[in-house]
Amino acid sequence: MLKQPFFSIIIPTLNEEVCLPKLLNDLHKQSFKSFEVIVVDGLSQDQTQAIAKTYLKQLDLQLFSNKSPGVSPQRNLGAKKSKGQYLIFFDADVQIPHNFLDLLYKQIKKNDGYLFTTRLDVNTKSQTQIALTELTNFIIEILNTLGKPFAPGFNIIIEKGLFNKLSGFDVSLKLAEDHDLVQRARKLGVLLKILKKPVLYLSFRRPEKIGYLSFVTQYVISGLYTLTSGPIKKDLYSYPMGGHIYKDVKSKKKSFLEAIKNIEFPF
């Protein structure tokens, strides 16, 4: 076990027996080795914990269970248990190339910052997914330029001292806790830096499950709400968590009215 790894990679899980081994395999193949992995499980009912335990000899990995519902308490617990200088927050369904941590380490040393995210990419030939990924990258860049920084919670890299100073993710928020963390950092004078390299491979299992139109609509609404009304402390729409929800995903097509009918608008 490493005494003080440079990175602590924190992965919240809930019934992620399908996706988690793919990400852990990616981590095992990393050329950069100064990192630990912390899996914080939300009492999964499948083989998630058993799968994580199979990697105990391959990775510097710790597994914790957390009874508090929600991804923010899981991430905060992982941060509390971490030893690394920088925290990396991944979701179980993302994937990374073998040189991700090596390139990230070099970029952090070069840019001398405290808060980072990277560009997103996809392992697919789907033109819809490619277009949506590029749109997401564009929106993140524009919002950062306009002084309204945003980094997705599945791809946040933050210096541990800064994370502690911010008291971590706000567990009272229903949505957009990642937006909130980055914007609170900005208020302290810490700017988000968006790295062109390395890239993180985005998962499209959620939009495939609920429908692309519904996904984009929810994304826009939560973003607008955060920008106009502040932190989201009430349910704007249903946002269920857990890998079991996305098994046997079949794409859904919804009309615009169907996509927004259960959304509570802030204006």
b vs e for 216-234, b when ≥16 Cβ sit within 10 Å of the residue's Cβ? ebbbebbbebbbeeebbee
Site of tokens 């980094």: 151
How many distinct structural domains can be found in the chain? Answer: 1
In a domain, 156, yes or no: yes
pLDDT digits (tens, 9 = 90+) for 44-90: 999 999 999 999 999 999 999 998 778 999 999 999 999 999 999 99
Residue 146 placed within a domain: yes
* Per-residue tokens: 121: 């990419």
pLDDT tens, position by position, 119-176: 999 988 888 889 989 988 998 899 888 888 888 899 999 999 999 999 999 998 877 7
222 three-class SS: helix
Asked whether residue 21 is assigned to any structural domain, the reply reads: yes
Q: What CATH number does residue 165 fall under?
A: 3.90.550.10
Residue 149 domain flag: yes
Look at residue 44 in the predicted model and tell me its pLDDT: 93
Which residues, in sequence order, are bridge partners of residue 215?
none
pLDDT for residue 117 is more than 60? yes
Residue 82 is assigned to a structural domain of this protein: yes
- 123 lies in some domain: yes
Query: Strand 115-121 relative to strand 155-159: parallel, antiparallel, unpaired?
Result: antiparallel
Residue 194 falls inside a structural domain? yes
How far is residue 118's CA from residue 95's CA, in Å, rounded to a whole number?
A: 13
Helices (runs of H) and strands (runs of E) counted in the chain: 10, 7
Range of the domain at 20: 7-204
pTM of the model: 0.87
Q: Is residue 223 part of a domain?
A: no
pLDDT at residue 41 in the model: 95
Task: Select the highest-mean-pLDDT range: 159-163, 172-176, 213-217, 262-266.
Answer: 159-163
**Closest listed residue to residue 26, CA positions, set 100, 96, 121, 93:** 96
Give the tens place of pLDDT for each residue, 220-241: 777 676 677 666 666 665 666 6
Spatial separation of the C-alpha atoms in residues 198 and 190, rounded to whole Å: 21
